[in-house]
Amino acid sequence: MRIDVISLFPEFVDQCAGFGVVGRARERGLLSLHGWNPRDHAEGNYRRVDDRPFGGGPGMVMMIEPLRAAIRAAQAAGHVDDRPPARVVYMSPQGRPLDQAKVRELAALDRLVLLCGRYEGVDERLIRAEVDEEISIGDYVLSGGELAAAVVVDAVARLQDGALNDAESAIQDSFEADGLLDCPHYTRPVEHELGTVPAVLMSGNHAEIARWRRMQALGRTWARRPDLLDEAALSPADRRLLDE
């Protein structure tokens, strides 16, 4: 998969995506990341990318032309014969909240262009003309879209075929399959001043361990994120446990 990031700080996303699973996915050639700075496409001595908002008010607005030229350069660089242009996603607190279903959808694309705003935002005409979709990573305002883009890159990279090793994929699959929060995890030592590992995990009884993990996952989801239970894939046995 190829991801192009349009940003005044393209190195930021590049650096964020240099470690762990994402760094490995890039080394393995499963993901390529390309940064495009609208300033390189701006005109004049000052290479201006922003201007005051019409109608007054604080802050600056990113101008149409440098962004449009950067998007076009990214589209041209990633163009493959007969393939449609990449989907253009604008990272914005006004977008649709990101969830794992959206991550899966994006991860299945060949190409993606992520547009990061700074200042008060981006000229609305550019969004209407060039952007396919707006995505938010949560109900809070960041100083720019770069962190949000890095979140998308990370979540999408780890879903590329071959990015995760077998153990990591198994964990991913179990989380994805049922839509519940994860159960708690423990490792050595068994006894510690902070507490003892639950005995069932050392019992060697795989059925009991699986049952305990399922109960923990259900209980946590019920306590912390009851909204997820509406969409979760629950068996009749799960429902009985929740009713208790």
Q: Which residues are annotated as a binding site for S-adenosyl-L-methionine?
A: 117, 137-142
Q: Is 122 in the site for ligand ADE (CB under 6 A)?
A: no
Number of residues that bind ligand ADE (CB under 6 A): 11
Among the residue ranges 42-50, 91-99, 161-169, 194-202, the one whose residues contact ligand ADE (CB under 6 A): 91-99
Q: Which is nearer to ligand ADE, 119 or 222 (CB)?
A: 119
**By CB under 6 A, residue 141 contacts ligand ADE:** yes
* Choice from 140, 187, 188, 223 touching ligand ADE (CB under 6 A): 140
Among 26, 74, 123, 136, binds ligand ADE (CB under 6 A): 136
Query: For 76, phi and psi rounded to 5 degrees?
Result: -65, -40
Task: Tell me whether residue 81 is one of the annotated catalytic residues.
Answer: no
Here the tokens at position 191 are: 């006894």
Is there a contact between 49 and 115 (Cβ–Cβ < 8 Å)? no
Identify which of residues 38 and 93 has a Cβ nearer to ligand ADE in the complex.
Answer: 93
Q: Which residue has the tokens 């101008």?
A: 63
Stretch that binds ligand ADE, among 19-27, 35-43, 86-94, 105-113 (CB under 6 A): 86-94
Establish whether 146 is a catalytic residue. Answer: no
Q: Are 133 and 96 in contact (CB under 8 A)?
A: yes
- State which amino acid sits at residue 135: I
DSSP 177-226: HH-PPPPP---S-SEETTEE--GGGGS--HHHHHHHHHHHHHHHHHHH-H
Residues, the chain = 244
CA–CA gap between residue 169 and residue 36 (Å, rounded)? 32
CB neighbourhood size of 210 (10 A):
10
Q: Does 121 participate in binding ligand ADE (rule CB under 6 A)?
A: no
- Going along the chain, which residue ranges are E strands? 2-6, 32-36, 50-51, 61-62, 87-97, 111-116, 121-122, 133-136, 191-192, 195-196
Binds ligand ADE by CB under 6 A, chosen from 91, 107, 150, 153:
91
Q: Which residue is nearest to ligand ADE (CB)?
A: 148
| Chosen residue from 8, 137, 180, 181 binding ligand ADE by CB under 6 A | 137
Among 145, 180, 181, 238, binds ligand ADE (CB under 6 A): 145
Establish if 38 lies at the interface with ligand ADE (CB under 6 A).
no
- The residues carrying an active-site annotation are 93, 120, 158, 173
